[in-house]
Amino acid sequence: MFAAVIALSSPAYAWGPVGHRITGAIADENLSGAARANVRILLGTQDLAEAATWPDDMKSDKADFWQKIAGQWHYVTVKEGDDYQPSDAPAGGDAMTALSQFTSKLRDPKTTVEEKRLALRFIVHIIGDLHQPLHAGGGTDRGGNDVTVKWFGRPTNLHSVWDSAMIEQRSLSYSEYAGWLSRSILPAQIIGWSNPNPSIWVSESIALRKAIYPADPDISWDYAYQHREELDDRLKRSGVRIAAYLNWVFDRPSIAGQSGKQK
C-alpha cells in the first residue's frame, strides 16, 4: 500500500506509460502504407506503442537536452480563452512549437536518420500529450498537479488521476485496452477525427479540462464512472490522430530514406 501511495503522489508528466502505449497501438492500426513503411525505416522492429513512451523514458538522462530543454515540450498553457495562440508559448517552446519543429525535421530530406528518429518519437508522444486535458492547462495549478485529491482514499493529485490512475483502475494491459477501444471506433469517427490541425485537439482538451475538476476532493467510483467515456474518447482520438498526422507527414514518397549524412 505504501508503494502505491508513493507512486500516485509522484509528479505526473503526461499520459502514463499505459496510456501512451494505448494511443500508439491504436495509431499502428490506422497507418497508411507509406507511413507504415517510413516508420519501419526509422524505428526498425519498434512499434508506435513502444516509441510513444520514449520521451518520458529519457527524462532521467543527465544530458542538458533532457534536463534543461525538452521538459517544456509535453504541454501547453492557455491562460485566456479556449483557443491556443502562438503567443501562449514560452521562450523555451511548448508542445505545439515542438510538434511544428519536429514535423519540419521529419519532412526535411536533409535531416539525418537519427534526427528523424528523434522527431518521430516526439511527434507520437506529443500528440498523445495534447489529448490529455490537463496538458492544456490554464496556468494556475500546473495542469492539476497542485490540485490535491484522494483517489480511493490515497493521496495524489488530479493530474496523476488522469495520467494513470483511471487507466490503471481498469486492470487491463495496454494491448487489451487498445483492442477494446479500437473495436469501438466507427469508420465515420476515423474520418471525422483525422484533421491534422493540432489547434483543434488543444481546444477539445481545454473544454474537457474545465469540466473535470471535482467539487469534492475525495474521489473514487463515482468520479471514474462519470469521466470514463471522456477518458476513453481522448485515448481513441489521440490514437487515430497520431496515425492521421503521420499519414499526412509521410504523404510525399521516401521521406525517411531521403536523409543527409547518417550519424
* Domain extent listing, the chain: 2-249
What average pLDDT does the segment 229-242 reach? Answer: 98
Residue 254 above 60 pLDDT? Answer: no
Helix (H, G, I), strand (E, B) or coil at 7: helix
Of the pLDDT bands very low, low, confident and very high (cuts 50, 70, 90), residue 252 is low
Task: Let me know: does 49 contact 242? Beta carbons within 8 Å.
Answer: no
d(CA 222, CA 253): 49
Mean pLDDT check: name the lowest of 27-36, 74-83, 132-141: 74-83
- Per-residue buried b or exposed e for 138-175, using 16+ beta carbons within 10 Å of the residue's own CB: eeeebbbbebebebeebebbbbbbbbbbbbbeeeeebe
Q: How many other β-carbons are positioned within 10 Å of the β-carbon of residue 4?
A: 13
CATH H superfamily, domain 2-249? P1 Nuclease (1.10.575.10)
- Strand, coil or helix: 253: coil
Please check the confidence at residue 5 and state whether its pLDDT lies above 60. Answer: no
Q: Identify the weakest region by mean pLDDT among 55-59, 226-230, 257-261.
A: 257-261
pTM of the model: 0.90
The Cα-based distances of 154 to 8, 11, 214 in angstroms read 8, 15, 16
12, pLDDT greater than 70: no
Per-residue pLDDT at 238 exceeds 70: yes
Residue 9 has pLDDT above 70, yes or no: no
pLDDT at residue 13 tops 70: no
- Determine the pLDDT at residue 1: 37
- Cell numbers for 174, please give them: 495496454
Please tell me the predicted confidence (pLDDT) of residue 175: 98
The beta-strand segments (E) located in the chain are 76-77, 136-137, 148-151, 154-157, 218-219
Residue 11 reports pLDDT greater than 60: no
44, 45, 180 from 201: Cα distances, Å: 29, 29, 22
pLDDT in tens, 144-176: 999 999 999 999 999 999 999 999 999 999 999
pLDDT higher than threshold 90 for residue 253: no
What value does the mean pLDDT of the chain take? Answer: 90
First vs last C-alpha separation in the chain: 46
Beta bridge partners of 77: 137
Q: pLDDT > 90: what percent of the chain? A: 82
Residue 249, CA distances (Å) to 34, 154, 218 in order = 10, 43, 44
Residues 6 or more apart from 121 whose CB is under 8 A from it? 43, 51, 52, 54, 55
pLDDT value of position 233: 98
For residue range 177-223, what is the model confidence (pLDDT) as tens digits? Answer: 999 999 999 999 999 999 999 999 999 999 999 999 999 999 999 99
